[in-house]
Amino acid sequence: MGERVSFYDYSTAASRFREDVLDGLRRPRKELPPKYFYDAVGSALFDAICALPEYYPTRTETALMQRHAPAMAACIGARSALIEFGSGVSRKSRMLIAATEPAVYVPIDIARETLHSAAASLESAFPRLPIVAICADYSQPFELPVLERFCPRRRTVFFPGSTIGNFHPDEAVAFLAQAARLAGAGGGLLIGVDLRKDKAALEAAYDDPQGVTAAFNLNLLARINRELGADFDLRAFRHRALYLEAHGRIEMHLDSRRDQSVLLGTERIEFRAGESIHTENSYKYAVQEFQALAACAGFRPRQCWVDGAGLFSIHYMEC
């Protein structure tokens, strides 16, 4: 990478991955953290999901950003330190970078190879932009490197994709409070939030007929096999997604098709027929509902953009 790119690796992913997997599978109701979906195969499958006709969030959020980029840029202001959680390939952030000309861009992602690749691509696209790439689990507390040398006028946290929905509401408040600390007094938050909507539309988005989401979900077991030496038989599990309207969330599960035993290292995990591994929650929020949640973390709503069909929202808030 060039002289304008710095790379910081705070990840302890290998040891943490095994620990988190074993902790989740030992529970009475088995679960796995969704942050581990995104190895190289999982990231490619998620990109394929985003292109599916049933999966509205990505194209709707992108269209909102394209339409309202000038207004978002006016909120953020020039020469901000733009800090993106779960940056991936930094596709959406390019619109903000072009519109605001930040003092520095700080992509944060747990996927090391994806982060390296994205930083190199951005360096080519924006040769004058300083990039401070951080490989870290952004769901856990961490400290940013010193950014003052870039003389930013303020800090803005960018969290697109409605990934905030993966957190239980109490966890979401704690996460947003961490974002507020990173942004600092007078800092901002630009965040994508999926809206509550029809049950059929939501379940179709998370259980497409092409089976791409099922492959994405099952790849989590394949990753455990590859990296932790387990012997999951992927054919013995089926993908299931359901919307719990009372809780305002989609749940994704992997259901065991039969009684079976899985070996992970020296530990044997037993499954009953029909027993599930809960792999993801995706909470949906009405606009006022999310604004009240963010207020508990110290953010004040400033502006909100919603598409014409009422599918998705983007909020700008300040500390």
Q: What is the pTM of this model?
A: 0.95
C-beta of residue 131 within 8 angstroms of C-beta of residue 97: no
**CA nearest neighbour of 103 among 49, 147, 44:** 147
What digits encode the pLDDT tens for the residues 124-173?
Answer: 999 999 999 999 988 888 889 999 999 999 999 999 999 999 999 999 99
The whole-angstrom separation of Cα 224 and Cα 226 is: 6
CA distances from 243 to 119, 201, 220, 248 (A): 36, 10, 21, 7
Q: Which residue has the higher pLDDT, 12 or 187?
A: 187
CA distances from 303 to 77, 84, 142 (A): 14, 19, 28
- DSSP category for residue 31: B
Helix (H), strand (E) at residue 59:
helix 56-76
C-beta of residue 118 within 8 angstroms of C-beta of residue 7: no
Check pLDDT > 70 for residue 306: yes
Provide the 3-class DSSP secondary structure of residue 312.
strand
- pLDDT of amino acid 2: 66
Q: How confident is residue 30, by pLDDT bands cut at 50, 70 and 90?
A: very high
CA distances from 241 to 27, 62, 87, 90, 198 (A): 21, 24, 25, 28, 14
- pLDDT of amino acid 304: 98
Reading the block at residue 265, the tokens are: 């290292």
The whole-angstrom separation of Cα 104 and Cα 102 is: 5
What digits encode the pLDDT tens for the residues 188-215?
Answer: 999 999 999 999 999 999 999 999 999 9
Cα 216 from chain centroid?
14
Average pLDDT, the chain: 95
Query: What is the CATH class of 1-229+287-319?
Result: alpha beta
Q: Any alpha helices (H) in 104-168, and if so which ranges?
A: 112-125
Q: How confident is residue 15, by pLDDT bands cut at 50, 70 and 90?
A: low
What digits encode the pLDDT tens for the residues 80-120?
Answer: 999 999 998 899 999 999 999 999 999 999 888 889 999 99
pLDDT (mean) for 31-58: 94
305 - beta bridge partners?
A: 314
Check pLDDT > 80 for residue 12: no
What digits encode the pLDDT tens for the residues 163-182?
Answer: 999 999 999 999 999 999 99
Q: How confident is residue 257, by pLDDT bands cut at 50, 70 and 90?
A: very high
C-beta of residue 233 within 8 angstroms of C-beta of residue 258: no
C-beta of residue 129 within 8 angstroms of C-beta of residue 106: no
- pLDDT of amino acid 140: 84
Q: Which of 13-17, 50-54, 146-150 has the lowest mean pLDDT?
A: 13-17
Question: What residue segments make up the domains of the chain, in order of their start?
Answer: 1-229+287-319
